Amino acid sequence: MSTSQTTDVQASTHATEYDSVTNNIVVAALYKFTRFTDFEQYREPILNTMLENDVKGTLLIASEGINGTISGSRQGIDNVLEYLRSIEAIGSFTFKESYTDAQPFYRTKVKLKKEIVTMGVENIDPLQSVGRYVKPSEWNALISDPEVILIDTRNDYEVQIGTFQNAVNPNTETFREFPEYVAKELDPAKHKKVAMFCTGGIRCEKSTAFMREQGFEEVYHLEGGILKYLEEIPASESMWQGDCFVFDNRV
């Protein structure tokens, strides 16, 4: 992965393996929805752990969980992840790693937030209700079903870089606009099967929970997001078109 002079890069459609010489920076993307009622008291301890291990990037913490992307040495990332797991409210979580030869982030931040991914709708709880997870190996069959409407939950500038065949672009500038798109363009009585996807999975946790609350019964989302799909599905079988936008140097 190469850095750009702006605040973004495009992800390769092929996984990059770790090499201690050429790709010695580990980039870890993580999130977890959980009951994190005392999150405020963990801002400083998490920040200090990152600083002590020379780990950069941004972590967002809120009463609904944790979300972010961090980068550093193999040992530094392992130490930070181990500390996060030691926090009772967080515990175990899944994360995705990629590797690069240059530090992609400039700063180290831990931010207190109302939401770890901002939709701006009260009482949307992925811990209570969420869409059905679909593994990358089963995704092509699902989105090839003519009865399924496929929705890209990302913002327009991300969709323009790449998306799945036949995916609908809601033309949103921010995730906050997604509920308005649903209200105007989708109908539970008409759209019986809805499949959704995003970069790493977190936006779909919120969007499918929201859709379920709005009365859509058959709601699916791509487990692990686009990044997991590109990692697991051979190019010869892929229904992805273009590149995948990911963030870099964003803090």
pLDDT at 180 over 60: yes
- pLDDT (average), residues 195-224: 95
pLDDT, mean over the chain: 89
pLDDT at res. 244: 80
21 vs 229, which has greater pLDDT? 229
pLDDT one-digit tens code per residue, 210-250: 999 999 999 999 999 998 999 999 999 999 998 886 654 43
User: In whole angstroms, what is the distance from residue 175 CA to residue 165 CA?
Assistant: 21
pLDDT at 31 over 50: yes
- The domain spans of the chain are 8-112, 132-244
pLDDT at 1 over 80: no
Q: Among candidates 2, 12, 17, which has minimal Cα distance to 235? A: 12
- pLDDT (average), residues 161-178: 96
For the chain, helix (H) and strand (E) counts, in that order, are 7, 13
- C-beta separation of 220 from 132 below 8 A: yes
Query: What are the Cα distances from residue 48, in Å, to 42, 45, 195?
Result: 10, 5, 40
Share of the chain above pLDDT 90, in %: 84
Tokens 């970069």 locate to 199
User: In whole angstroms, what is the distance from residue 197 CA to residue 225 CA?
Assistant: 6
- pLDDT (average), residues 73-85: 98
DSSP symbols for 202-225: HHHHHHHHHHHHTT--EEEEETTH
Determine whether 244 is an active site residue.
no
pLDDT at 71 over 70: yes
8-112 fold: Alpha-Beta Plaits (3.30.70)
Catalytic residue among 124, 130, 151, 198: 198
Burial, 203: exposed, middle or buried (Cβ in 10 Å; 0-12, 13-18, 19+)? buried
Give the max Cα distance, the chain: 56
132-244: CATH number: 3.40.250.10
166 vs 2, which has greater pLDDT? 166
Tokens 């580990």 locate to 26
213 vs 15, which has greater pLDDT? 213
Which helix (H) or strand (E) is 246 found in, with range? strand 244-247
